[in-house]
Amino acid sequence: MIDTRKVPIGGIKFSEERVHFSICCPYNEQATINDILQHISKKQVTIPFLCHLSGSSGTKTCFCVSAGDVELISDVAHFSCDKNLSISCQRNVASITIFPHRNNLTLVPLVMCLMDGLQLPVYSFSTSISALVFNTDFHLLELLAHHLTDVFDLPDNHSPFHPEFQLRQPRSSSESEDLTWRP
């Protein structure tokens, strides 16, 4: 008999539009990853998603920045010059956060299979005690949301998937605060 019950979760949230970076490098170039992250930090750019994988052939670091901040770090590619790095950049990406999963790691293959069936790319994903985060195409979030509600049981008072507004702190005292409102 097939179990048709929905999986109970605490909620789903979508991020604003982001740009996803992947950096692959051998172990002897690991210091360059640190240089890149310090460069981004000096530009006062927030990294809302960061994951790091270490394997037998080297390391892979994935991170996202807000689409509005990407021009501030457009020079990140110069770090690959004279280094054995592979840096790729994917625009129009968003993160979907599923929380809390209550240590139910069966949600990972469930979401991966769902996204595969919909032919949605998974640029990266990570898990913590409280949440699963998947990065995929920004313009396909509504399609994903429709199908996620078929497999997940959300609380009755669940808030909208998309952020309703975004506050941005000024980078310097000369900048004014930026408030973006999405009705």
| 7-155: in CATH 3.30.2130.10 | yes
Model confidence, pTM:
0.81
Q: Is the pLDDT of residue 180 over 70?
A: no
Q: Can you give the pLDDT at residue 163?
A: 64
Query: Between these two residues, 83 and 109, which has the higher pLDDT value?
Result: 109
The answer, yes or no, to whether residue 94 has pLDDT greater than 70, is yes
Cβ-based neighbours of 115, under 8 Å, separated by 6 or more: 121, 122, 134, 136, 144
Q: Is the pLDDT of residue 30 over 80?
A: no
CA 111/CA 11 separation, integer angstroms = 14
Task: Pick 176 or 122 by higher pLDDT.
Answer: 122
